[in-house]
Amino acid sequence: MDLDVMRVKDSILMLVGDGISESEMAFRFILFIGGSIVSIFLVDMLLRKILGVEKKKSVKDSHFNDLHKKWDEIVSTGSGIAVLILTLIIIGLDFTVNEYLFILIAIITIIPILVQVGFEKKYAKNPNEYLLTILGMAITVVIMGTLLFILSPGF
């Protein structure tokens, strides 16, 4: 699939493919969502056992100090707004989706994870916490990409 010549409106037809019924697409979508959730949960559980990292009790435990909380809020909010604006521009103006725009959105999405990894490496009691985050995200991308490739007839 060449992203240089792909427009947003045309990309949906490419993903769905010709001759695919709505019920089959709905079934594939449910398989994608269900498979993603189950496999990400299992990978997280397996990585936690291998690396010896305990699960945090609540979301409040995810910040190590006030500086971490402040940076997490700033970076997460900023990247969320940036991705939303880029998405609205792409859809509203019917921009051509190219590799550079795709890479820009991917980088903006990764920035909050890098902030989390940096604070985990510096302040976490367990030295393997940042490894859990990095490996978990990498494996999640691979799993979701694989499921999308398998379940989307247009790829």
| Tens digit of each residue's pLDDT (9 = 90 or more) over 89-116 | 777 776 666 677 778 888 888 899 999 8
pLDDT tens string 63-94: 788 898 899 899 999 999 998 888 787 777 76
Q: How many domains does the chain have?
A: 1
| pLDDT (tens digit per residue) in 141-154 | 888 888 877 877 66
What's residue 141's pLDDT? Answer: 85
Quick one: which of 151, 144, 148 has its CA closest to 43?
Answer: 144
Structural domain span for residue 70: 3-151
- In eight-state DSSP terms, residue 5 is G
Which three-class secondary structure state does DSSP give residue 97? strand
pTM score > 0.85 for this model? no
